[in-house]
């Protein structure tokens, strides 16, 4: 094992100890170290980092920037140990936003996706995706959180999901509406009927009786989007699975504003429910929908008009 590979293992262990998962960074950095080995280099240089980060040649500057940012964080760690390692400066590529524009799903969009799931040839796949779409829509879970659910994490007697070791190592409990519990019970019965001897303890199962992998769920989602006839609204606004979470948050905030609730006081509740580490991550949703911005503006105008 090369010294850089050993240093990478140490770097990942340190970052993961404080809650970072770094699954993609681990793959990228392992590939970067292989690139350095091929070029017989035992130290990180800005030129070497740029040469690797700008692959593939037909990639986007945003993807190149992401690759370079992974190297930069690793190089910063190594530079503190050995100054031979250079830290690539920021600004080497034009700055671009890392956030895609949220595709806010309407209730009709969600219904269309769930109906499209029923068209899958496999009854188990159909039931799994129909229930998965519905659960994401009414809970705002990250899709990875839903796929990681084990059967013991789903308490349908008390109507609670236990989300374990989520982003940044946080865990939480998510209450379910009675109608959601009924849908989950129906899926459980159908799943156990179609797959009586699963190979994994996962709540959502694949046609092989194993946990549904994220990559397969993503491909299935693209198929659902196609079947449901949903179209991108722009190059940066495409119907992704994660946007169901955005949609849940925006609909919750819209409901609070329309009902005249004290939104600022309730924002920490939404942050906790969604599993956000910082409330700022929840406040970002205020800019996600024009209708929501309009309600915020009207609330501010009304407040400004009140006598002191």
In sequence order, what DSSP letters do the residues of 27-76 get, joined into one string? HHHHHHHHHHHHTT--S--HHHHHHHHT-STTS-HHHHHHHHHHHHHHHH
Residues designated catalytic:
142, 167, 242, 245, 276, 285
- Residue 202, φ and ψ in degrees, nearest 5: -65, 150
**Which CATH class for the 107-228 domain?**
mainly alpha
Please give the chain's pLDDT, 308 residues, in tens. Answer: 478 999 999 999 888 876 677 888 999 999 999 999 999 999 999 999 999 999 988 877 778 888 999 999 999 999 999 999 999 998 877 655 556 778 889 999 999 999 999 999 999 999 999 999 999 999 999 999 999 999 999 999 999 999 987 665 678 899 999 999 999 999 999 999 999 999 999 999 999 999 999 999 999 999 999 999 999 988 878 999 999 998 998 888 888 878 888 877 888 888 888 887 666 666 666 555 665 556 555 554 554 455 44
* Whether residue 56 has a cis bond before it, omega within 30° of 0: yes
SS3 state of residue 234: strand
- Residue 301: count other Cβ atoms within 10 Å of its Cβ: 9
Give the pLDDT score at 1: 43
Pairing of strands 172-175, 154-155: unpaired
Residues 6+ apart with CB under 8 A from 258: 295
Give the pLDDT score at 303: 47
Structure tokens given for 189: 């019965």
Torsion-angle region of 172 (φ positive above 0: left; ψ -120 to 50: alpha; else: beta): beta
- Residue 31, φ and ψ in degrees, nearest 5: -70, -40
Give the pLDDT score at 297: 56
Give the pLDDT score at 18: 62
Give the pLDDT score at 186: 98
Give me the count of residues in the chain.
308
Q: What is the DSSP letter of 150?
A: B
Helices marked H in the chain:
3-17, 23-38, 46-53, 61-81, 107-117, 123-139, 143-147, 178-194, 214-228, 243-258, 263-274, 279-283, 290-304
Of 78, 85, 74, 88, give the one whose Cα is nearest residue 27. 74
Give the pLDDT score at 15: 84
How many Å apart are CA 199 and CA 8, to the nearest integer? 33
- Residue 192: count other Cβ atoms within 10 Å of its Cβ: 13
Give the pLDDT score at 280: 66
User: What are the structural domain ranges in the chain?
Assistant: 3-81, 107-228, 243-304
- State in Å, rounded, how far the first CA of the chain is from the last one: 70
Give the pLDDT score at 161: 97
Residues 270 and 133 sit within 8 Å (Cβ to Cβ): no
- Residue 37: count other Cβ atoms within 10 Å of its Cβ: 13
Of 29, 123, 108, 26, give the one whose Cα is nearest residue 75. 29
How many Å apart are CA 6 and CA 190, to the nearest integer? 47
Residues 6+ apart with CB under 8 A from 203: 149, 150, 151, 153, 154
Structure tokens given for 23: 């699954």
Predicted TM-score of the model (pTM): 0.68
Residues 6+ apart with CB under 8 A from 98: 62, 66
Give the pLDDT score at 285: 64
């Amino acid at each position: 094992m090369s010294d850089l590979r050993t240093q990478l293992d140490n770097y990942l262990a340190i970052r993961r100890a404080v809650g970072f998962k770094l699954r993609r960074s681990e793959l990228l950095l392992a590939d970067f170290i292989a690139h350095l080995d091929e070029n017989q280099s035992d130290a990180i240089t800005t030129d070497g980092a740029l040469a690797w980060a700008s692959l593939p040649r037909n990639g986007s500057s945003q993807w190149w920037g992401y690759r370079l940012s992974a190297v930069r964080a690793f190089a910063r760690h190594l530079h503190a140990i050995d100054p031979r390692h250079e830290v690539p400066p920021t600004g080497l590529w034009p700055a671009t936003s890392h956030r895609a524009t949220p595709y806010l799903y309407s209730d009709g969009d969600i219904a269309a996706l769930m109906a499209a799931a029923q068209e899958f040839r496999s009854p188990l796949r159909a039931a799994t995706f129909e229930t998965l779409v519905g659960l994401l829509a009414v809970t705002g879970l990250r899709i990875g959180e839903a796929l990681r659910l084990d059967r013991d994490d789903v308490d349908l007697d008390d109507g609670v999901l236990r989300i374990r070791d989520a982003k940044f190592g946080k865990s939480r409990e998510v209450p379910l509406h009675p109608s959601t519990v009924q849908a989950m019970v129906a899926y459980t019965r159908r799943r156990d009927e179609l797959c009586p001897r699963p190979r994994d303890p996962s709540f959502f199962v694949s046609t092989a009786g194993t946990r549904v992998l994220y990559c397969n769920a993503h491909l299935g989602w693209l198929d659902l989007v196609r079947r449901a006839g949903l179209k991108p609204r722009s190059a940066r606004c495409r119907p992704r699975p994660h946007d169901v979470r955005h949609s849940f948050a925006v609909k919750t905030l819209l409901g609070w504003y329309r009902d005249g609730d004290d939104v600022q006081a309730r924002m920490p509740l939404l942050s906790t429910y969604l599993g956000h580490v910082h409330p700022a991550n929840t406040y970002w949703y205020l800019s996600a929908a024009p209708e929501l911005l309009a309600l915020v503006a009207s609330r501010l105008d009304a407040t400004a008009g009140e006598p002191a």
